[in-house]
Chains A and B, each alone.
Chain A
Amino acid sequence: MANKGWDEFEIGAMLRSFDGKAADVIATTHQEDRNYSPSNSFTASVADWRIEKPVFNKDFCIDCQFCWVYCPDMSIISRDKKMVGVDMDHCKGCGICVEVCPTNPKSLLMFAEHADEETEIAQWPAKDEEKK
């Protein structure tokens, strides 16, 4: 957020969710199309303390939406019931999406924050034959 002076902000310990009116946009738009204000947590990155990240491998995903349902921070991006990826500005790296992923091998796995995504996908684990 801009470093405004003491006389440059609205009074009160108060933040606006939207720049301007919010009416009738919520049900018909996706998050990225809404006029969230700079102080809204959607606009700000609130994930800089994540130390492990989920990596999504679409080759194994069945679009079951379990990860979307269980994510506690609305950080799974899904469009038309198709898994798109993870919102890395908001994901805290809790690993719940990986835990609930039902495919074999999993379509989401946790890696260190600094791991290279393409490299990890290239050496993704094979199907675990012992699992039925």
Chain B
Amino acid sequence: MAFDKMELRDVEVWDGNMAASQAMRQAQIDVVAAYPITPSTPVVENYAGFLANNFIEGEFVMVESEHAAMSGCIGAAAAGGRVATATSSQGFALMVETLYQASGMRLPIVLNVINRALAAPLNVNGDHSDMYLGRDSGWIQFDAYCPQDAYDLNLIAFKVCEDHGVRLPAMVHQDGFMTSHTAQGVKTLTDDVAYNFVGDYQPMNDMLDFDHPVTHGVQTEEDWHFEHKARQHNDLMTKVFPKIQAAFDDFEELTGRKYNMVESYDMDDADVAVVCMGTSVETAREVATEMRTKGIKAGVVGIRVIRPFPFEQIADALKGVKAIAALDRSNPNGAPGMLFNELAGAMYHLDTRPVISGYVYGLGGRDLTKVHLTDLYNELQANADAGKVLTPLQQFIGVRGPKLSFL
């Protein structure tokens, strides 16, 4: 069955969901098994529309839950197809059991996670709780800050995760509503150019290879489990970054758009830096530029690849800085934030360590305003001048009531 190609303008006005859908269409996925949940619903809804209108040759499987959606993706990927889906929040939480199956079975599935808070209380707006929930699941995690990133990183994700040296599933994250429902200009690739960048799917150990029958999802007890998990960790630690870098390089050559494991803005001479993810990176960049007019050498570091964690790259980006803030948009529930902990670990061995303070912000879609960030940069400058953290190590930004801080 032939399918039609879509004529795209060089720049289309797309929200993050449409950007992800279009990248999925151009990658010509074989199977999408999906269950809708706000704010990720339009990703698969748009995709189903493309399929119905003959822009895709593939299968769309409507299932009864997100657990079944990922299970369907796992079966299709084991059978030997290019596979993707999307989810958010509670749906992501329901998928968690199958996420570990997908990565342990080394099946390259692309999952668009449109970041949303986790109940209770129920909330459809964006924070990073679901993104943080996935961080030990053995998946590669890319973080998009805007619709353009969501489009580009989807294409890159297929190319990286399907590589036979990698064979690990990948999530592409974007902030619910702030990115997923905010339309911006997105520079497009033609269908042929995008598909050729991703490349034909190369099956590996697929169940539809009847000459070489395989059993997927086997049981191992204490005699083999540790070796499998060690292999998976080894490949995440040693094989994924070179492939991502190669894909980033190829993508830059093709489009001129450059991505890095760690995105540094105004960091060459920065004294103080904010480290954050998602749409907050763009807000922080704007404020950092303003702080420089006030004489504060402010920079921003965005995490582009959350897993595997860019341990060396982040230390390299921050080694010359005097004071940094780690911004966590997920409730740590009884600990410092994930980003605070990861950064502290990455910098502990440095000869000159920046002082680090942690901030919890934006839960349930609460705005992170420029005023918040201006105050934050001023605190960081005071820390830099004093050579130590003058505030508690963990502070909440933007929550009503008495000032909340710990540690």
Contacts and interface: CB of A to CB of B under 8 A. Distances in A.
Interface of A: 3-7, 9-18, 21-23
A22 B214 CA distance: 11
Residues of A contacting B: mostly? loop
A14 B105 contact: yes
B333 interface: no
A111 to B, nearest CB: 31
A83 to B, nearest CB: 29
Interface stretch (B147-155, B180-188, B205-213, B357-365): B205-213
28 contacts: A3-B223, A4-B227, A7-B231, A9-B227, A10-B205, A11-B106, A11-B167, A11-B235, A12-B104, A12-B106, A12-B107, A13-B104, A13-B106, A13-B216, A13-B220, A14-B106, A14-B215, A14-B216, A14-B218, A15-B214, A16-B214, A16-B215, A17-B214, A17-B215, A18-B213, A22-B211, A22-B213, A23-B210
Contacts of A21: 211-212
Contact of A13 (B218, B223, B230, B235): B218
Interface in B193-232: 205, 210-218, 220, 223, 226-228, 230-232
B231 A11 contact: yes
Pairs of residues from A and B, 8 with the lowest C-beta to C-beta distance, nearest first: A12-B106, A6-B227, A6-B230, A17-B213, A11-B106, A23-B211, A15-B215, A6-B231
Contacts, number: 62
Nearest to A40: B215
Given A4-B227, A17-B215, 12 more contacts: A3-B223, A5-B227, A6-B227, A6-B231, A7-B231, A9-B227, A11-B232, A13-B104, A13-B220, A17-B213, A22-B212, A23-B210
Contacts of A5: 227
Contacts of A3: 223
B341 interface: no
B167 A14 contact: no
A12 B167 contact: yes
> In the complex, which range does the number of interface residues on chain B fall in?
20 to 34
Contacts of B227: 4-6, 9
Nearest to B207: A14
Contacts of A23: 210-211
Contacts of A12: 104-107, 167, 205, 216
Interface of B: 104-107, 167, 205, 210-218, 220, 223, 226-228, 230-232, 234-235
Contacts of A14: 105-106, 205, 214-218
Contacts of A17: 213-215
A15 B213 CA distance: 9
Nearest to A41: B215
Given A4-B227, A5-B227, A6-B231, A13 B213 contact: no
B254 to A, nearest CB: 29
B105 A18 contact: no
A41 to B, nearest CB: 9
Contacts of A16: 212-215
A67 B330 CA distance: 62
A18 B231 CA distance: 23
A5 B218 CA distance: 18
Nearest to A10: B205
Given A6-B227, A11-B235, A12-B205, A18 B216 contact: no
Nearest to A16: B214
A88 B307 CA distance: 48
A125 to B, nearest CB: 41
Contacts of B167: 11-12
B310 to A, nearest CB: 23
A105 to B, nearest CB: 41
Contacts of B231: 6-7, 9, 11
Nearest to A3: B223
B216 A22 contact: no
A11 B227 CA distance: 10
Contacts of A6: 226-228, 230-231, 234
Nearest to B104: A13
B270 to A, nearest CB: 41
A129 to B, nearest CB: 50
B223 to A, nearest CB: 8
